[in-house]
Structure 1
């Protein structure tokens, strides 16, 4: 049970995207109009992450064998909801994480729960926001791309894709990593790729978390789409929240 919840937390608290083109450099002018200079890759990435924060959006996260997560987010209100379908140690589960007015709620439905309260998908839990670094209670779905603030060696891959490295030592809070996990990583500097659309918004962000202990390495592959989508979320009714 603990392993599944850790998996869910890991999936929810990190971002990713797509791109598989050959590498380039930040000084390249490929794709630029004749006589014009191409925007610096690092500046383009910073601007793209900022533009993403200006409108609501949908997200889709593919975690390979670990599961798939879909959700919506409103950067202005910081309200968000994610639903994750996953399988861990043969246990199939659906987890819903909802953030409303700065409060995080979680609902877990395990296929083999046997009706166990709190794992049968009928009740929500209200999470304590005073938890330490890396806890779900401090999760802010709209700030996951802030991990790109630590981006270095940013270079163009092609007309709409950049690559570089992020430093988890500087991004632990944004990615929901606790100090215990951070201390076990073989390296805190990870390669990433990110895609930028024609409106200058970040639409994909991908990196691979290295193996930690018995946890195998896995990709975070997140895509952002449907900008302007309605995000009308309400806190669960009091009768639907488990007592502490």
Structure 2
């Protein structure tokens, strides 16, 4: 996860024990025919969902609808600090991202980029169209076409999960199973398989995900926090007008 990409990126069990009173037996009272007994009148409550199952279900619910998101990274040295905001339209496989001096629109395999500084010889502020059919996988830019918020960090990399309170979870991720922050994770070696996280769930949606990454060879320790809002609200994502085709050199670099 670099300064130019969006990263991405147990149950409290309550047992109630009851004790019958030690009292002199009373004369039984006759019950009307068909009256429910104590055993038949009480229906056992279904067991609570497993923490892992609940968290993955919430992640899938968030990934399967429209939403707005914020991805904020803070590092010990502040060298990786950045904040990305955007919107996701899962049904259209489309998303947006914006941060200081940089904007991105993705619709299917088509990617549109605009930077406050020149890119590949094009003037600053020019929208560039990268045709996914002509370039390599967008994952080289930290972009997963099927997973714009990099929620695969949870769905593919979840090692363990524990519910610490209503809607609150913590656990461990194996980040080698995702594309998020690939360069840093390679530097971490086996430590990348034990990345701590915290998450919150509300109304069945994954609302926040905090990933804590330790120091690597060429990267300081950092935290990345994903926040999701506006679930199910209408989202309009369209191709920017006047976008210029990506120069061949840029397309070649993505292969």
How many residue pairs are counted as aligned between the two chains? 210
| Structure 2 counterparts to residues 38-49 of structure 1, below 5 A | 38-49=48-59
Q: In structure 2, the residue corresponding to 1:206 is in which secondary structure?
A: strand
Aligned equivalents of 1:137, 1:151: Cα separation in 2: 20
Superposition RMSD in Å: 3.0
Q: Which runs of 5+ in 2 are unaligned?
A: 16-43, 249-255
The answer to which of 157-166 and 116-125 deviates more is: 116-125
Query: Which of 4, 8, 16 is equivalent to 2:4?
Result: 8
| TM-aligned CA distance change 1:243 to 1:116, over 3 Å | closer
Q: CA deviation at 1:133?
A: 8.1
| CA displacement, residues 6-38 of structure 1 (integer Å, 9 cap, x when unaligned) | 4212xx1314xxxxxxxxx236359xxx96643
Aligned to 1:53: 63
Aligned to 1:192: 197
* TM-score, normalised via structure 2 length: 0.71
The question of whether the paired residues in 1 share the 8 Å contact of 2:142 and 2:181 is answered with no
Q: Which runs of 5+ in 1 are unaligned?
A: 16-24, 86-93
Q: Show structure 1 runs of 4+ deviating over 6 A.
A: none
1:28 aligns with 2:13: yes
Aligned equivalents of 1:195, 1:155: Cα separation in 2: 12
| CA displacement, residues 161-180 of structure 1 (integer Å, 9 cap, x when unaligned) | 11111101212x3x262xx5
Aligned to 2:185: 182
| Structure 2 counterparts to residues 31-180 of structure 1, below 5 A | 37-64=47-74, 65=78, 66-85=81-100, 94-110=101-117, 117-118=121-122, 120-126=124-130, 130-131=135-136, 134-136=139-141, 138-140=143-145, 141-142=147-148, 144-149=150-155, 150-171=157-178, 173=179, 175=180, 177=182, 180=183
Q: CA deviation at 1:226?
A: 0.7
Aligned equivalents of 1:229, 1:128: Cα separation in 2: 28
The answer to which of 226-235 and 41-50 deviates more is: 226-235
* TM-score, normalised via structure 1 length: 0.74
Q: CA deviation at 1:144?
A: 1.5
The question of whether the paired residues in 1 share the 8 Å contact of 2:161 and 2:172 is answered with yes
| TM-aligned CA distance change 1:77 to 1:61, over 3 Å | same
| CA displacement, residues 76-134 of structure 1 (integer Å, 9 cap, x when unaligned) | 2110001012xxxxxxxx21121112222221114xx7x99546223325265653684
